[in-house]
Structures are given as structure tokens and as C-alpha cells.
């Protein structure tokens, strides 16, 4: 039976496509954007999460761990993650401060969760959204979920960076009712510097989907000091203008959700101290894009 690695399933999502949706987050991502609000998605394998605020210092984890990862020094709980084999024994011993992020699931297990809210999808025009990470890092699993959900009459969305082999995009296009396609940076050198990958493949795949007639919403994270430049905002509009099936452009203002999540998995948050933009700033970004396109532009 086909399995994949899922790190979260969120019911009642309102920002991952039309209507009320269940969003299934698949683990693994080929990009590493510093502003990522799901840093726990980056690694393909499960990893250990720790919330210091929930730790009562009982030391049961240290006793349970066969690899000696947990140490207590000067009242501080230190975890040596380089030795962690993700066996999960400390998680079982703990009262709630530890968790394994990411677990293997079958397609049917995912669908069982998703089916619970079918009445809400029907009344709101919602459905299922696959997100991540990059769901297409697990192409067979993503395809199997989307095709099964679509066959059961659910509306299917795929949130993607677009960084995948073209054949994978071709394969999922018929079972995806709407692509939520990231547009992170239109200037290639900056794109490579910030995300770690070239954007030529991403742009080529976007044009490929457009030629296939796929419905597309461009999702554009705007990060102060990174891509809040006028040339990028105009570039988003220009990109949409070259495509026939872009229904809307969604501006996604920087948020700090990635900060506490980074701490939880023992990583340093790269944008520490960066302020969230105010409403006026965001409205200015939207106005700039709107001034150069007929495609509807809004904040997501």
C-alpha cells in the first residue's frame, strides 16, 4: 500500500484555496527560503520537535533515549540532534514537550481525515489542498491522493514551488483543479541566492501548466528587504500577463510563524528581528502590482 510522509493535516483552512478546505502538508522541500513559515517541512525525514515551555524537567527523555541525546546542564535541557535516530522513545516517555514531526501515512489514512469535512466543502466550494514543503517531492503519493480525492468528487488544490521535473507537473495536472503556484522572486540571481535553486525550471513549469490549460493562482510572498522591490512587483504582473490561465495574484505578506517553529526543531531563525509589514505597506504592494495587470490582485 502506498505511503508518504505527512507532517500535518489542518482542517477548516481558509487560506489554501477556495472555500473551507483540509490542507495536507507533505514533508520535504528542495528550496530553503529564509522566510519559510514551515521550516519543519524542509527535511524529507521525520525530525524531533521540542517545546521548552512545555518541559517540566523530569528527565524521563534522557532515561528513554538510547543515543544519549538529552542532557541537562545548569537547568537547561540540551538536545544533541546529530545523534538522534528518530526512534521516538523519548516522545513516548514525555508528557508533551517532545514530538516527532512527520509520520508515514497511507493514502487511505489521509483520505479518511479529509472526508470528515465533505459537508463543509460542499456548502463552501472547498475541498482538499496538498501543501508542504513541496508536495511534488513525493510525486507518486501526491498524485495518488489528488486522483482519489478528485474521483470522490472533491475539489483539489496543489500548492507548489513549481520546482519539480516537468513530467511530474504533466502527471498531476489532470487531477489538480487549481494550482496555487509560488512566485518568490522574478530576478534569477536573487532567486538562486535566497531559495537555493534557479528559477528557470520553475518559470518553464508555470508556462507548461498554462499551455495544458491548468487553472492557476500565483502566490507571492513579499518579504521586506528581500523582494518588496518595485521591479519584482512589476515582474509578477508581467509574468501573469504572459499567461492565459492565471485567475488571480495573491500577495502573501511576511509573517513570523517560522520563528517559533525553527526554535522547536533546534534551528536558528534566519530573519530574526525582521518586522512584519503594516497594512499600509501591504496595500502599497498590492497597488503597485494592480497598476500593471488586469489580473485580480488581493492579499491572502
- Tell me the window of 4-12, 93-101, 162-170, 187-195 that interacts with ligand SF4 (CB under 6 A): 93-101
Rank residues 95 and 123 by Cβ distance to ligand SF4 and give the closer one. 95
Total residues interacting with ligand SF4, rule: CB under 6 A: 25
Rank residues 75 and 119 by Cβ distance to ligand SF4 and give the closer one. 75
Residues 238 to 267: which contact ligand SF4 by CB under 6 A? Answer: none
Among 6, 29, 36, 98, contact with ligand SF4 (rule: CB under 6 A): 98
Residues in the chain: 300
Look up residue 63 and give its three cell numbers.
Answer: 532515561
Helix (H) or strand (E) holding 99: strand 98-101
Residues 52 to 91: which contact ligand SF4 by CB under 6 A? Answer: 55-61, 64-65, 67, 69, 77, 84-90
Rank residues 86 and 290 by Cβ distance to ligand SF4 and give the closer one. 86
Residue 31 and residue 266: Cα distance in Å, rounded?
19
Phi, psi of 108 (to 5 degrees): -65, -35
CA distances from 224 to 36, 190, 193, 218, 277 (A): 14, 14, 16, 19, 7
Kindly state the smallest distance separating residue 87's Cβ from ligand SF4, in Å.
4
The string over 14-40, giving b where at least 16 C-beta atoms fall within 10 Å of a residue's C-beta and e elsewhere, is: eebbbbbbbbbbbbbbbbebebbbbbb
**Taking a C-beta distance cutoff of 8 angstroms, is the pair 250, 220 a contact?**
yes
Rank residues 84 and 215 by Cβ distance to ligand SF4 and give the closer one. 84
Rank residues 77 and 103 by Cβ distance to ligand SF4 and give the closer one. 77
Binding site for ligand SF4 (CB under 6 A): 48, 55-61, 64-65, 67, 69, 77, 84-90, 93-95, 97-98
Amino acid at each position: 500500500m502506498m505511503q508518504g510522509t505527512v507532517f500535518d493535516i489542518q482542517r477548516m483552512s481558509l487560506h489554501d484555496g477556495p472555500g473551507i478546505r483540509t490542507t495536507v502538508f507533505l514533508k520535504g522541500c528542495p528550496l530553503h527560503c529564509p522566510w519559510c513559515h514551515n521550516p519543519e517541512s524542509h527535511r524529507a525525514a521525520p525530525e524531533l520537535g521540542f517545546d521548552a515551555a512545555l518541559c517540566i524537567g523530569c528527565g524521563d527523555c534522557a532515561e528513554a533515549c538510547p543515543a544519549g541525546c538529552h542532557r541537562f546542564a545548569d537547568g537547561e535541557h540540551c538536545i544533541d540532534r546529530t545523534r538522534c535516530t528518530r526512534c521516538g522513545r523519548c516522545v513516548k516517555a514525555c508528557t508533551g514537550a517532545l514530538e516527532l514531526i512527520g509520520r508515514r501515512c497511507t493514502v487511505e489514512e489521509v483520505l479518511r481525515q479529509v472526508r470528515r469535512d465533505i459537508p463543509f466543502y460542499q456548502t463552501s466550494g472547498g475541498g482538499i489542498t496538498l501543501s508542504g514543503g513541496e508536495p511534488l517531492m513525493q510525486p507518486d503519493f501526491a498524485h495518488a491522493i489528488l486522483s482519489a480525492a478528485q474521483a470522490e468528487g472533491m475539489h483539489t488544490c496543489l500548492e507548489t514551488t513549481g520546482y519539480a521535473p516537468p513530467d511530474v507537473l504533466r502527471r498531476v495536472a489532470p487531477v489538480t483543479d487549481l494550482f496555487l503556484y509560488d512566485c518568490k522572486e522574478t530576478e534569477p540571481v536573487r532567486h538562486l541566492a535566497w531559495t537555493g535553486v534557479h528559477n528557470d525550471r520553475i518559470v518553464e513549469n508555470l508556462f507548461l501548466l498554462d499551455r495544458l490549460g491548468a487553472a492557476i493562482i500565483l502566490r507571492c510572498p513579499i518579504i521586506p528587504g528581500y523582494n518588496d522591490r518595485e521591479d519584482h512587483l512589476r515582474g509578477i504582473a508581467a509574468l501573469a500577463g504572459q499567461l492565459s490561465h492565471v485567475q488571480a495574484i495573491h500577495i502573501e505578506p511576511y509573517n513570523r510563524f517560522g520563528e517559533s517553529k525553527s526554535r522547536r526543531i533546534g534551528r536558528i531563525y534566519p530573519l530574526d528581528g525582521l518586522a512584519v509589514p503594516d497594512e499600509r505597506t501591504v496595500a502599497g504592494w498590492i497597488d503597485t502590482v494592480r497598476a500593471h495587470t488586469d489580473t485580480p490582485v488581493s492579499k491572502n
